[in-house]
Structure 1
Amino acid sequence: MITTSLASFIINLHIDGIPLFALEKAKLCFTDFLGVSLRGSREKSSQAIWDTMESIKLSPGDLSKEITVLGHGGGGLLEGCLINGISAHALDLDDGHRIAQLHPGCSVIPAALALAEYHDKSGKEFLEAMVAGYEVAIVLGIMVNPVHRNKGFHSTSTLGVFGAAAAASKILGLNFEETVNALGLAGTQSAGLLESGHSGSMGKHLHAGHAAHSGVISALLAQRGFTGPSSILEGKEGFLKCMCSTIKEKEDLVDNVTSLLGQFHIKDVYLKRYPVCRHLHSSIDSARQIYKELQLKRININQIDHIKVRTYKTAAEHDNYYPETPESLRQSLPLSIAITLCGGDLGVDDVKAISQISPEVRALSQKIAIELDEKLDHLQPHKRPSRVAVTYNKINMGGNELNRYSIEKTTLLPQGESENPFTKEEILHKFQFLNSGYDIRKLEILNEMESLSIRYLMGNFN
């Protein structure tokens, strides 16, 4: 049974059995999470959930039991992991896994962090739980996607809840039966629709917080003897049947999950440069290369005649030419490329300033044609390819003839993937760029986090 196989993996995972490369990647992902969440806490969605939780006053009377709510202060266990999850996903700058098609960190880390801080666990215990949660969420994603995603489900939430429950179960030291119950309870709360992102709403942010919150609730209930369905994944009316109905035979999946567990897929988690959907990043990388050449050739934006983007199906579907909110801009390939070609990059401030985007950028976005390229589509999901071609006009030396030229750049995988990773120094720079004024030296404490209390550690991040 798939659910019980996951539970066995969770309870049998120990820090001594986790390879060094997985632990180092976990610490890098945690560093990235902290930087992204601190900056994300200033977003409207994070402030709204903080204000809501404050208004119903769920914070504990015993301040020694408060947990860190990044960017806001302290709060209760459950609202803390909910708010931290929303903050982590609010900028669309959080980590992800290409094949699993989900963002594991924004649900797994808030769940593990909340319980580890509440129970004053060590950094070693936190990392152990974090790796367990990433592995469960990613393995499930590899197993069910792209079928599950193509039905409109947001795997960050629907599968992230299992990862959050796994991490929470590990922190709480649940036994096998309790862990099975926690996974079962998590599965029955699995939710999240991609329409929330496509429509340009903040619902996508809620998905991450909900998954973290539900994972913690599931583990806490299981600890108290609350039972959950042990067949939540493979049952006749379970997750696979209801949310992945065209998936292959369950018997094959049991063998598949067993072989996938323990490969420490956290090693393949990507980190992000741009605060937009990952499917846009290859095109933006290509556009940045073209921008540099245009600058060298002293070509201005008004000389661009047209732009052609050829890419894979999922990326090509992000064709909103008229986004009106920061959330919808994060799903807009045309405007993301136009901003990049005008300024050479795409940052958080560019997205937030959507109401102030210049007519020049808007006009350039209308010159972009997006095409599905079948050859590039066949490379997906192992690659996320995009080919961008910019055609521009230039008057010849004599000044009497207008010539047309093109620059084309192809990106098979955006920067940040395991095949083309960011360095630790680049992630630290990202942290500081997002949180100007923060004393970056405080992050040095993460180098020795295994031996420190999480409660002590988190005192450095508020």
Structure 2
Amino acid sequence: MITKKFADFIISLKYEDIPSDVTEKARLCFMDFLGVSLRGSNEKSGISALKALQPTLGKATIIGHGHGDPLNASLVNGIFAHSLDLDDGHRIAHLHPGASVIPAALALAEKEKVKGKEFLTSIIIGYEICLSLGIMINPHHRNMGFHSTGTCGTIGAAAASAKILDLNKEETLNCLGLAGTQAAGLLESDHKGSMGKHLHAGRAAQSGILSALLAREGFTGADTILEGDEGFLNVMSSGYDIKDGLGHFHIRQVYMKKYPVCRHIHSTLDSASKILNSLKLKSVDEAMVDEVIVRTYKVAAEHDNYKPENMEFLRQSLPVSLALFLLNGDLRLEHLKDFKFARELAKKIRIETDRKLDSLYPEKRPSKVILKLKGEKSEALTMLPSGEPENPLKRDDILKKFKMLNSEYDVKKLKILNEMESTPMDELMDELDLGGNKQ
């Protein structure tokens, strides 16, 4: 019984059982989440959500915008975290766990005044549950059109919430049952240039909290929500591999991102970076380029929109993202603001699906870029983009990313995260002073 195994894991895991490298990774994921969300709090999707919801007074931090009630704070923070396409992810599970799990755990942890030790335990549990489920059902789930961040993320957020509230087994099963029936997210939202993609993460976080709060009050959910004949696995996947992966701590394999675009584009950008470095060029201009060929795996090659109409479309466009990278020598948020000028160079980019490279996916995410400048050809191959566990971003890299995204924030305050275990989370968030006065 998969659902019951999940519930047993949630209830039984203690902070003392968790290896130190896992707690350190959770701490790093939290830091990354805070930096990305703080910058994301200025984006249109999050501001729109704030105006629509008008969160009531409460003690849960709405990053960059004061405080509010936990349900709405978690939803908005999830939108903030996912709106820039800079949040963490897992290549095999095909989802972004942090944007769903952390907002739920954080809002409840502040409300319940639990200490950092319990908070870290809860997000490790949330990551483990949603990533185990994502690994179990993908790539089938994704190929059917589901966005795992919204679907599996809901169940991960519920698991983290159940741990924060210290639910018993019956309550935890009800919590998972209620989360499973709310799990939603369609890739049509992602690939058609809408903010619905951002909503997937926020709604997952909010639904996780709602499931836990209802379960605590005796509201029941199906205790076979995952494996039942009409449950998650049988309805929302064309095939799945039941693996008892709990306890392997899949958070270890979570990647962190350098570029604010879809992860399937990152290997291409890293290959372009290698070429520029080898040629000792900071950037190129359109007149220098005869042709650019990208040979990559099928899913990446399908991100072939040459005329994105808005920022959400742009983040899914391989040719325009690559053109922007080549023109700027990097791809940062500020480079995305005026992207239409890159369309001319994008016309010179040819994208091909390479069968050999495609056979390596999803264990690898390979992309070869061939750049032809005035008849001279340079090429580079990237098997896995930077930030994967095989080539991870270190703490200093995440601090640099945080500072780059939020130049006015004093990153020295983040030192409190180094010894957060004994600090109540409401006090920790007050010391970090991330609420701002924008509300």
TM-score of Structure 1 vs Structure 2, range by shorter chain: over 0.9
Paired-residue identity, %: 58
Aligned partner of 2:93 in structure 1 is: 100
- 1:242-261 aligned at under 5 Å gives the runs 242-247=235-240, 253=242, 256=243, 258=244, 260-261=245-246
Residues 42 and 305 (structure 1), Cα distance of their counterparts in 2 relative to 1, 3 Å cut: same
Asked whether the 8 Å contact 2:286–2:344 carries over to 1, the reply is no
Alpha-carbon distance between aligned partners in 1 of 2:191 and 2:418, rounded to the nearest angstrom: 39
- 1:317-332 aligned at under 5 Å gives the runs 317-332=302-317
1:59 pairs with one of 56, 59, 70: 56
Asked whether the 8 Å contact 2:296–2:367 carries over to 1, the reply is yes
Q: What are the superposed Cα offsets for residues 156-207 of structure 1, whole Å, 9 maximum, x if unpaired?
A: 0100000000000000000011101100000000100011010011000000
Aligned partner of 1:342 in structure 2 is: 327
Aligned partner of 1:408 in structure 2 is: 379
Alpha-carbon distance between aligned partners in 1 of 2:34 and 2:188, rounded to the nearest angstrom: 27
Moved over 6 A (4+): none
Aligned partner of 1:385 in structure 2 is: 366
Shift of 1:296: 4.2
- 1:33-432 aligned at under 5 Å gives the runs 33-54=33-54, 58-60=55-57, 65-247=58-240, 253=242, 256=243, 258=244, 260-296=245-281, 300-354=285-339, 357-358=340-341, 361-393=342-374, 404-432=375-403
Q: Secondary structure at 1:421's aligned position in 2?
A: coil
Q: Which amino acid aligns with 2:396?
A: E
Shift of 1:224: 0.4
Asked whether the 8 Å contact 2:283–2:328 carries over to 1, the reply is no
Residues 298 and 332 (structure 1), Cα distance of their counterparts in 2 relative to 1, 3 Å cut: closer
Shift of 1:52: 1.2
Q: What are the superposed Cα offsets for residues 238-287 of structure 1, whole Å, 9 maximum, x if unpaired?
A: 11111113335xxxx2xx1x2x0000110110000000000000001111
Asked whether the 8 Å contact 1:290–1:341 carries over to 2, the reply is no
Residues 298 and 320 (structure 1), Cα distance of their counterparts in 2 relative to 1, 3 Å cut: closer
Alpha-carbon distance between aligned partners in 2 of 1:22 and 1:105, rounded to the nearest angstrom: 14
Asked whether the 8 Å contact 1:38–1:87 carries over to 2, the reply is yes
Q: Secondary structure at 2:61's aligned position in 1?
A: strand
Residues 76 and 376 (structure 1), Cα distance of their counterparts in 2 relative to 1, 3 Å cut: same
Residues 234 and 297 (structure 1), Cα distance of their counterparts in 2 relative to 1, 3 Å cut: closer
Aligned partner of 1:451 in structure 2 is: 422
Shift of 1:298: 9.2
Alpha-carbon distance between aligned partners in 1 of 2:282 and 2:93, rounded to the nearest angstrom: 41
Alpha-carbon distance between aligned partners in 2 of 1:380 and 1:422, rounded to the nearest angstrom: 22
Q: Which amino acid aligns with 1:266?
A: I
Alpha-carbon distance between aligned partners in 2 of 1:247 and 1:105, rounded to the nearest angstrom: 23
Q: Which amino acid aligns with 2:206?
A: H
Asked whether the 8 Å contact 1:97–1:268 carries over to 2, the reply is yes
1:434 aligns with 2:405: yes
Alpha-carbon distance between aligned partners in 2 of 1:299 and 1:173, rounded to the nearest angstrom: 56
Q: TM-score scaled to structure 2, two decimals?
A: 0.97
Q: In the comparison of the two structures, how many residue pairs are matched? A: 433
Q: Which amino acid aligns with 2:377?
A: S
In the alignment, structure 1 segments of 5+ residues that lack a partner are 394-403
Asked whether the 8 Å contact 1:59–1:66 carries over to 2, the reply is no
Alpha-carbon distance between aligned partners in 2 of 1:171 and 1:281, rounded to the nearest angstrom: 35
Asked whether the 8 Å contact 1:294–1:300 carries over to 2, the reply is no
Asked whether the 8 Å contact 2:276–2:282 carries over to 1, the reply is no
Q: Secondary structure at 1:307's aligned position in 2?
A: strand
Shift of 1:98: 0.9
Alpha-carbon distance between aligned partners in 2 of 1:449 and 1:418, rounded to the nearest angstrom: 24
Asked whether the 8 Å contact 1:123–1:450 carries over to 2, the reply is yes
Q: Which amino acid aligns with 1:313?
A: K
Alpha-carbon distance between aligned partners in 1 of 2:38 and 2:361, rounded to the nearest angstrom: 33
Alpha-carbon distance between aligned partners in 2 of 1:348 and 1:227, rounded to the nearest angstrom: 44
Alpha-carbon distance between aligned partners in 1 of 2:56 and 2:284, rounded to the nearest angstrom: 57
Q: Which amino acid aligns with 1:451?
A: S
Q: TM-score scaled to structure 1, two decimals?
A: 0.92
Q: Which structure has the larger Rg?
A: 1
Alpha-carbon distance between aligned partners in 2 of 1:172 and 1:247, rounded to the nearest angstrom: 31
Shift of 1:301: 3.4
